[in-house]
Structure 1
Amino acid sequence: MLKNELELKKHRLILPLLAALENELRNKGLWQETKPEQQALDSREPFAIDSLSFVQWLQFIFLDKMNQRVRLLQPLPSTMLLLPMAQEYFKTMAGNSTEITAIIGRIDLLFRA
């Protein structure tokens, strides 16, 4: 259960950002309908870099876990820094990823210590 008003505020503020990130991934054709094998999802490496692309990690690990935490009113991470990885990943991708990285930047801002 949530401890204080600040945690509750983060829950309210993260929801539209998570939805915006999902929508933008879908709009850019980066959303995947088929879930990867469980073994790939069980990776212990940062961003599951050894078994998933960053976009797969966003969809199947990050968005899933964050949405679940919000639904169940579980505590959210106290800090988060996803933008450097997003910038590195998207710099080599064809297409405009500016909005995706902007949304991820806003998520990071919400979790700045």
Structure 2
Amino acid sequence: MTSHEALMEALERLVATLRSVDMWRVEEPPAAAFDSQQPFCVDTMELPQWLRYVFVARLETLAETEAPLPATCSVAPAIDTWLKEASPSVRRVVTEAVAEVDRIVTEA
């Protein structure tokens, strides 16, 4: 299996996880929100919006087109911090799903 195929599978699992914890059904941010210069667009989006419309969307495009992947990816620590008020089970499953994506991108 290629790294792009592995990434697509990991992204599918992440989407399924986000759906299972009700973090996938979020409003699409306005176009201007994507112009943010802040990490994770923290000034213009909620983290679930960023996960869906930036993180997953961009990585899916890279995987589908077999484009070069980023040299590193370390999003899971930010997700874990953002979910500090969530239930332990939600925090764990979402962080683990994002960590899998991080690992695949970094090892590619």
Structure 1 window deviating more from structure 2 (34-43 vs 62-71): it is 34-43
Q: Give the secondary-structure state (helix, strand or coil) at the position aligned to 1:111.
A: helix
Match of 2:103, as an amino acid? L
Task: Tell me what 2:63 maps to.
Answer: 70
Looking at secondary structure, tell me which structure has more helix per residue.
Answer: 2
Write the deviation string for residues 31-79 of structure 1: whole angstroms up to 9, x where unpaired.
1353110111221211001111111111000111111111112111111
- Do residues 81 (structure 1) and 61 (structure 2) align? no
Contact 1:41 1:60 in 2 (8 A): no
Match of 1:109, as an amino acid? R
> Normalising to structure 1: TM-score of the pair?
0.83
After superposition, residues 91-106 of structure 1 pair within 5 angstroms as: 91-94=84-87, 96-106=90-100
Give, in whole Å, the separation in 2 of the partners of 1:34 and 1:20.
Answer: 21
**Equivalent residue for 2:21, pick from 25, 28, 35:** 28
* Max Rg structure: 1
Aligned-pair Cα RMSD in Å: 1.8
How many aligned positions are there?
106
Q: Give the secondary-structure state (helix, strand or coil) at the position aligned to 2:70.
A: coil
Give, in whole Å, the separation in 2 of the partners of 1:93 and 1:52.
Answer: 18
Task: Tell me what 1:45 maps to.
Answer: 38
Identity %: 24
The alpha-carbon deviation at position 99 of structure 1 amounts to 1.1
Give, in whole Å, the separation in 2 of the partners of 1:80 and 1:58.
Answer: 13
Structure 1 window deviating more from structure 2 (98-107 vs 57-66): it is 98-107
